[in-house]
Amino acid sequence: MMHDGETLLSVRGVSKMYPGTRALDGVNLDVRGGEIHALVGGNGCGKSTLIKILSGIVQADAGEVHIAGHTMEAARMHPRFAHDLGIRVVHQDLAVFPDLSVAENLRLGTDYPATRLGQVRWRELHQGARDAIRKLDIAARPTDLIRDLPVAVRAQIAAARAMRGMDGRHGIIILDEPTASLPRHEVHVLFKAVRRMAAEGHAVVFVSHRLDEVLELTQRVTVMRDGMVVGEHATASLTEQDLIGSILGERSTMDRTERQVAADRLEIHGPGHAPGPLVLKVADLDAGPLRNVDLELRPGEVVGVAGLLGSGRTELLRALYGDLRLASGRVELNGRHVAFRNPGQAIAAGVIMVPEDRVNGGIFPNLTVDENMSVSVLGKYWRGGWFRRAAIERDAGVLRKRFRVKTPSGDVAIRSLSGGNQQKIVMGRWLRLGPSLLLLDEPTQGVDVGARADIYSAVREVVAAGGAALIVTSDLEELAQVVDRAIVLHEGRIVAEVRAPELSAQGLNEVIYQRGEESSVVV
């Protein structure tokens, strides 16, 4: 492998600011041809923002990108420029189409070879697929349907598709959490393809939370924290504990004795049993990646969910909301067995979920502020074939004041407001139903400090009235400040629970970055 190859990608001084958050702060990064270079860091460290800037999806505020002799202002990166310069991104979801063949998937995004009459030249299509399959040694045939192939082979095909159009050039292949959804026994299949990419002279950027894989596969690793690069290491001489220490920072690097003391403060496997009725009881739940989940929430509790990308955090909320089918297990709400088949049934029972994707799953962008605040209770205002507009405006005005929504009036489109104000409107809409269980997925993502305080104040109003809340957030500092206790998920299983006053971002990080059996013993 060309470990000493020329630098194909050089990032200099790249910065990006979102409202209330500095996502990237003067990031520098060099990746060489022929190497596999890891990019690691905790949730919210800036990895995803950097990838989006390199692929042209997000424009930076400052900095430059140098790619194989070309220099581009980071603020001017565009998807077409990035593609032409040889940057390819393979995302965790792979974006393959299960009902199409391998050959058809490999040509997605480009024109199929066709005759002048528009008929597909299948022989040529299949020959091109065979060449791509041979190059990465993929165990598939051009005519195989994607749905019939193992997940790891699908990932290889997504990687092969990303390499199309290189035309003999050495490109930059960014693999964004490619193993997060892979069974452990299939990871080596993808690794074989990744090593072949590097052997051909491409620069491979491997983004992963699985630190054992980083050490096994890569030659160098760049560590990010709080939007900055805080370290670069050769992996050959790096231990996993050293890497954890670099990710968490000096203030979080405990020695083994200190780690055991911390373990004594944690209740491993299963929550405690404080007196009082239960709002939620989950027993032996399997759904999606979740396995054998047991969980209890009592009135007045705000419980956090921590874990790495792919740990099952969002899937836990979706399973409780009727948006993810349960394979097995039992769910009780306020002492009554429930089996929601869809979110509508959950809402009717008093379970509300605010999704992570606010724009696509939370707001109605073309409706006004007042209309967005009222859609959950429209039936209340329907009288004699007409909506009582005056009542809608009056009640929405009260809610806007209660949640401190900053808007010139209730008549403006919600899309014109800041992310924090949009989120407060979504919260206000659902909280007016008086839910007994509130499920929040990244509720303060992209909002400023003031809006965060307002959102969590609203959450406390729900639980003070006898409800309970389950919160997923990647910001562990925030999580430690706003919840009463937190559970830690690892590969779909609850491996730890941390209770106040021991609850801290440092302690949660220490648990999160331990794996497998070690997670249940050492923190």
Q: Would you kindly state where each structural domain of the chain is located, as residue ranges?
A: 7-252, 255-350+434-523
Residues whose CB is less than 8 angstroms from the CB of residue 511 and which lie 6 or more positions away in sequence, other chains included: 266, 306, 488, 495, 496, 498, 519, 523
Q: What is the mean pLDDT of each run of 10 residues along the chain (523 residues)?
A: 72 87 91 94 81 92 90 91 87 79 84 78 88 85 90 84 76 86 73 89 89 91 92 92 80 38 34 64 94 95 88 93 94 95 92 76 80 80 80 84 80 78 81 88 69 80 90 84 92 90 81 56 31
What is the reported pLDDT for 523? 31
Phi, psi at 168, each rounded to 5°: 80, -5
Structure confidence at residue 4 (pLDDT): 52
Predicted confidence at residue 232, as pLDDT, reads 94
**Pairing relation of β-strands 485-490 and 493-499?**
antiparallel
DSSP label of 502:
S
Query: What gap in Å lies between CA 108 and CA 115, rounded to an integer?
Result: 18
pLDDT at 261 (0 to 100): 35
Q: CA-CA distance, 179 to 339, in Å (whole number)?
A: 31
Phi-psi group of 367: left, alpha or beta (phi > 0 → left; psi -120 to 50 → alpha; rest → beta): beta
**Is-above-0.75 flag for pTM?**
no
Q: What is the pLDDT of residue 259?
A: 35
In order of 55, 158, 350, the CA distances from 162 in angstroms are 12, 6, 45
Return the pLDDT at 360: 61
* CATH code of the domain occupying 255-350+434-523: 3.40.50.300
Nearest to 154 by CA among 123, 179, 134: 179
Contacts of 235 (CB under 8 A, 6+ apart): 38, 214, 215, 218, 219, 220, 221
Q: Which alpha helices (H) appear in 250-366, and where do they start and end?
A: 256-264, 313-320, 343-348, 358-361
Tell me yes or no: is domain 7-252 CATH 3.30.930.10: no
Q: Do the domains 255-350+434-523 and 7-252 match in fold?
A: yes
What's the rounded Cα separation, in Å, for the pair 370 and 406? Answer: 13
Cα-Cα-Cα-Cα dihedral of 181, 183, 189, 190, to 10°? Answer: 20
